[in-house]
A and B are shown apart, each in its own frame.
Chain A
Amino acid sequence: MAEMVRKASAFEIFNHWVLAISCLLLALSGYGFLFKLEGITALFGGANAMKDIHNYLGIVFTLSLFLSIFNWLKDALSFDSDDIKWIACAGGYLSKHPKVPPMGKLNTGQKLYYLALLAFGIAIAISGFVIWLMPGQRNYIILSHLVHNISFVVLMIAVPVHIYLATIANPGTFRIMVYGTVPYKWAAKRHPKWIQELSHGK
């Protein structure tokens, strides 16, 4: 087999799954609440149970989001001129034969996605806890309800795009969520600046 390089640790893989699954279940129950869908409440064992599941999954999601900071925030905050070029060519996704500027461990899209997820994730979490733990406090609830739902709309646009790009749109990427490793050659093409950093050994 080809030479492999590790992109995610076992813990990072685990935490990503926790984040992904809690987010998807929260979103599914969220749609159930939003449109009062009895088909969805039945899946969760009724609306009362769905409320509890939604609320406690919120704790899981929040903890997982917090831990994700250690995985990604540092890389997500490092921008340079290649990022501008990346945006200018839309990451190469509009071309069948993409030429993309050299990227670090995360490409520009991944960095922006993570920052958005972090911002709106914090917003949806805080507003969710307010709705949960401060019931009946009218002004706080009205504001939190708005924030919770704006964040929801943003996440329901961003997350599916992320899933698409991380699976069938970029063959070879999804294995990171299973094995944490990628072929050295693939990494050298997709994330050359990261590989450089690795081989220069800091």
Chain B
Amino acid sequence: MGRKALLISPELCIGCRACQVACKSWQQLPADKTKNTGSYENPGDLTPNLYNKIRFVEVPSQENPVRWLFVSQRCMHCDDAGCMKICPAPGALYKTKEGIVAFNKDKCIGCKLCVAGCPFDVPRYDEKGKISKCNLCEDRVAENMIPACAKTCPTGSIKYGDWDEMVASSKKAGYEKLYGQMDLGGLGVLYAFKDTPKLYGLNERPQIPESIVFWHNVLKPLAYIGLGGVVAASALHYLLIGPHKEEEEV
């Protein structure tokens, strides 16, 4: 209920990168200096000033020597978000009622733990070391507007709407299961892939690192159960057995 999603259909993407530009324009992000690496993909990776990037993947084959895939790469707004799990600063990362994983640079302490918790290598850090990533235009969304990327996309390759509706409509369109539908509690960015996710540069089974899940489920509770336990045990010992006094003077 209330959860929103982006539905990304690479099949419809023409690689125009209007979304990339619209994102920068709305978020007021400066351009990055880049190098020509022989690909139209530019810049080559997400940066602190680039929240949404179209990845260009060339998959030449016998039948189709010029197959070219375009796919939006950005924060997935995970339901079970590894970045939020590991972040030690109150209020630095928070979830909106639409399910957006948003951030507050004033509260971020720049520890960069979040990139260790993120299964998608998303968080980047600005020149002050503060987190920088897609926030699904939470300010627009709060005013009932749709994110800049979805607004701009001329082909419907990026759609924004209710999470359930996105899943239902793509099912009608013949996609049995969307990428991200079942992962990490359901991603807030869903992909209608025709091929294996790997081809699009994504993990088949994205996961929060096991040690972080273990930390969250086991070590964190132990950190207060342990302390509480030994304090209680000490009190009990004091009451039942009592201190070790020197009984009689020698």
Contact = CB atoms under 8 A, between A and B. Distances in A.
Contacts of A135: 110-112, 129
Contacts of A31: 223
Interface residues of A, number: 46
A136 B112 contact: yes
Contacts of B212: 142, 145
Interface string A171-191: 110000000000001101100
A47 B223 CA distance: 20
B242 A36 contact: no
A157 B219 CA distance: 12
Interface of A: 31, 33-38, 41, 47-48, 50-51, 92-98, 131, 135-136, 138, 141-143, 145-146, 149-150, 152-153, 156-157, 160-161, 164, 168-172, 185-186, 188-189
Contact of B222 (A33, A97, A142, A153): A153
Nearest to B92: A47
B109 A171 contact: no
A164 B219 contact: no
B143 interface: no
A168 B90 contact: no
B69 to A, nearest CB: 26
A168 B237 CA distance: 11
B67 interface: no
A37 B223 CA distance: 14
B44 interface: no
B115 A169 contact: no
A74 B109 CA distance: 41
A46 to B, nearest CB: 9
A93 B90 contact: no
B230 A96 contact: no
Nearest to B115: A136
Contacts of A185: 246, 249-250
24 contacts: A31-B223, A36-B87, A36-B89, A41-B89, A47-B88, A47-B89, A138-B115, A141-B115, A141-B116, A142-B116, A142-B209, A142-B212, A145-B86, A145-B116, A149-B215, A153-B223, A157-B226, A164-B237, A164-B238, A168-B238, A170-B244, A185-B246, A189-B246, A189-B250
B226 A169 contact: no
A48 B8 CA distance: 37
Interface string B219-250: 11011101101110010011001111111011
B234 A169 contact: yes
A21 B86 CA distance: 27
Contacts of B111: 51, 131, 135
Interface in B81-98: 86-92
A56 to B, nearest CB: 14
A168 B243 contact: yes
